[in-house]
Structure 1
Amino acid sequence: MKYNQLGKSDLQVSEVSFGCMSLRGSHAENAVLLQQALEAGINFFDTADLYDKGENEVTVGKAFKNNRNKIVLATKVGNQWRPYGSGWDWNPTKKYILEAVDKSLQRLQTDYIDLYQLHGGTIEDPIDETIEAFEILKEAGKIRYYGISSIRPNVIREYVQRSSIVSVMMQYSLLDRRPEEQILDVLAQNNISVLARGSIAQGLLAGKPTKAYLSFSEAEVKKMVNVLEEVSGNLSIDNMSVAIKYVLQHPAVATAVLGVRTQQQLNHAIKAAHEVELGSAALEKLKQVLTGQVYEQHR
């Protein structure tokens, strides 16, 4: 397993990591899967207080209670559940973040979080207040580093300029190359790492039936899949591995965060991490299929 430094931090994260949101088993079943991932070299595990109303953090906390120091633990904050569980509201205020972290620490059964992430963000947020909350938590030792989870270029730029974030989690794949227009380079230049989610585009790049995706028609998605199959055939590796290796080729990307729910999905993720790198010819062939994607909003 290859490990990459996470931005300006001293954290080393596996280039393929475990997105815990998909976990649906019992705590005991989830613990087996999570421990197998750790034994295979995956050390970065990402959850959020939003997932399953906090139970996702609970299941991760139970799994790693006895070997907490072996993992890089990431969770998120900013979405506040309404009373009686009738949905949630966006709340990036200092007061809420300082309260929410203690609940996450309790559920995760730890006294510190390696990477605490703002779970969203808009340009209308009280950004300086949000940053102040994260800095207070760093000073208190409750978190080691912080980042944001956002695909909004205008929000990302504000945090790059005004904060000490070490990472940005964003959607990035062969079917969503919008980050390539500007944001990946901006982050690389500022030594801020990307945590790439959605690398296999809801499974469309890993064998699921073709359908329209984002701005692409079903025919365009099929065109991408056909070229992906050609490249994977030439390299003698599977489509999923090629799709994951593609996002990892950009220097800004530290890890591909893969949603894992089953043993088979974990096996595929581990396999992808150990496959050969894509050469320049393969990369260019993939890049030429669908071009010109840009963010149309939040610029």
Structure 2
Amino acid sequence: MKTRQLGHRGPYVSSIGLGCMGMSDFYTTGVDEREAIATLHRAVELGVTLFDTADMYGPYTNEELLGRALRGKREGLYLASKFGLVRSSDPHARGVNGRPEYVRQSVDGSLKRLDTDYLDLYYQHRIDPEVPVEETIGAMAELVKAGKVRDIGISEASAETIQRAHAVHPLAAVQSEYSLWSRDPEQNGVLATCQRLGIAFVAYSPLGRGFLTGELKSPEDFAADDYRRFSPRFQADNFNRNLMLVERVKALASDKGISASQLALGWVLAQGEHVIPIPGTKQRKYLESNVAAASVMLSADELAQLDGIFAGEGAVAGDRYQAQTMTLLNG
């Protein structure tokens, strides 16, 4: 497994991490815990060291799953979790909480569920508009001093907020959605800001929530409780328009003798040495395919062809999230 550094002063982690959310939540309630644990164990065998979770996945059950699966395997692994995105009885509603007292409360819960004495990386999951980011980051810095957290980061923050947070305490990583069809970090300056400040950029959903794998053919492919049924990009006409883009990715991948997933991940890796994708999966066969993408090399012409598929305003149909959740991005 190739490695990349988390910031100028941080540790080296696997160049492709593992997003663990889907093992417990959002894509279906029919969770196969045995296969999920086998996938986590296989990831360790393959040299994956960066594992990503959050307290709101489940909620709470994803951290518990990792705690059980990685017990006795902690050495050499880099566990990342998040706080601050709060769920309610409404499955589509999200709240945020960046108050210092909530930070301190949340980390203790995560440590217990993950069965560990410290977190390698702790993210503010979304920026709380009611709490200055300096106050939240200040509380997170206290966790570093207390030995509960080694590095801190933020997720889905604006370039300005990243700079303000980094001035309070160095950020090891910024996490945002980034893929061939989600290019916000390029357009809003976040990717460039991270590179300039020496912060790692961790790309979640680098396979477009499964769409860029080329294996989805219809919205009916989703389970009844799969949240993608309510995501604008996966609905009706938007799905069909986006499918035409993916067919072009599949054709390029076929010419290169790799899968569409591997081509999409190779593109993300090619965007800079500070970029680390964390594709999610709950099955070993997909994990092994994703990890193999660490060796994909793309020429300038191939990168240009991929960029051309998704270039232009309106090339991708539909927003990333429903309207209310979109307001929590680029905070």
- Work out whether the TM-score is over 0.5: yes
Q: CA deviation at 1:184?
A: 1.0
Q: CA deviation at 1:202?
A: 2.1
Q: CA deviation at 1:176?
A: 1.2
**How well do the aligned residues superpose, as a CA RMSD in angstroms?**
2.9
Q: Which amino acid aligns with 1:286?
A: L
- Note the alpha carbon deviations across 1:260-294, whole angstroms, 9 max, x for none: 112232222223234x2111110011112232459
Q: CA deviation at 1:230?
A: 3.0
Give the secondary structure class of the aligned counterpart of 2:279: strand
Match of 1:40 in 2: 46
Q: Which residue of the other structure, out of 201, 207, 214, is the alignment partner of 1:200? A: 207
- Note the alpha carbon deviations across 1:58-112, whole angstroms, 9 max, x for none: 11011112121121000001134669x9976421111111111111111111101
Q: Is the 8 A contact 1:178 1:293 kept in 2?
A: no
Give the secondary structure class of the aligned counterpart of 1:117: strand
CA–CA distance in structure 1, aligned partners of residues 70 and 305 of structure 2: 42
Give the secondary structure class of the aligned counterpart of 1:196: strand
Residues 1:70 and 2:91 aligned together:
no
CA–CA distance in structure 2, aligned partners of residues 199 and 87 of structure 1: 24
Give the secondary structure class of the aligned counterpart of 1:204: helix
Match of 1:21 in 2: 21
Match of 2:283 in 1: 262
Q: Which residue of the other structure, out of 154, 175, 181, is the alignment partner of 1:169? A: 175
CA–CA distance in structure 2, aligned partners of residues 292 and 44 of structure 1: 33
Q: Greater shift after overlay, 278-287 or 117-126?
A: 117-126
Q: CA deviation at 1:36?
A: 0.8
Match of 2:223 in 1: none
Residues 1:209 and 2:217 aligned together:
yes
Q: Greater shift after overlay, 27-36 or 137-146?
A: 27-36
Q: Is the 8 A contact 1:176 1:293 kept in 2?
A: no
Q: TM-score, normalised by structure 1?
A: 0.88
Q: TM-score, normalised by structure 2?
A: 0.80
CA 1:86/1:222 → structure 2, altered by over 3 Å: closer, same or farther?
closer
After superposition, residues 98-117 of structure 1 pair within 5 angstroms as: 98-117=104-123
CA 1:238/1:180 → structure 2, altered by over 3 Å: closer, same or farther?
same
Q: Which residue of the other structure, out of 184, 196, 199, is the alignment partner of 1:189? A: 196
Q: CA deviation at 1:224?
A: 2.5
CA 1:293/1:42 → structure 2, altered by over 3 Å: closer, same or farther?
farther
Listed as ranges, the gaps of 5+ residues in structure 1 are none
CA–CA distance in structure 1, aligned partners of residues 116 and 246 of structure 2: 43
CA–CA distance in structure 2, aligned partners of residues 238 and 184 of structure 1: 26
Listed as ranges, the gaps of 5+ residues in structure 2 are 25-30, 220-231, 320-325
CA–CA distance in structure 2, aligned partners of residues 46 and 218 of structure 1: 28
Q: Which amino acid aligns with 1:233?
A: S
Q: Percent identity?
A: 29
Residues 1:238 and 2:259 aligned together:
yes
Match of 1:224 in 2: 245
Q: CA deviation at 1:159?
A: 2.6
Match of 1:179 in 2: 185
CA–CA distance in structure 1, aligned partners of residues 92 and 303 of structure 2: 45
Q: Is the 8 A contact 2:38 2:284 kept in 1?
A: no
Match of 2:138 in 1: 132
Match of 2:323 in 1: none
CA–CA distance in structure 2, aligned partners of residues 290 and 106 of structure 1: 43
Give the secondary structure class of the aligned counterpart of 1:159: helix
- Note the alpha carbon deviations across 1:127-171, whole angstroms, 9 max, x for none: 111011111000111000000111544433433454411111111
Give the secondary structure class of the aligned counterpart of 2:17: strand
Q: CA deviation at 1:254?
A: 3.3
CA–CA distance in structure 2, aligned partners of residues 29 and 97 of structure 1: 32
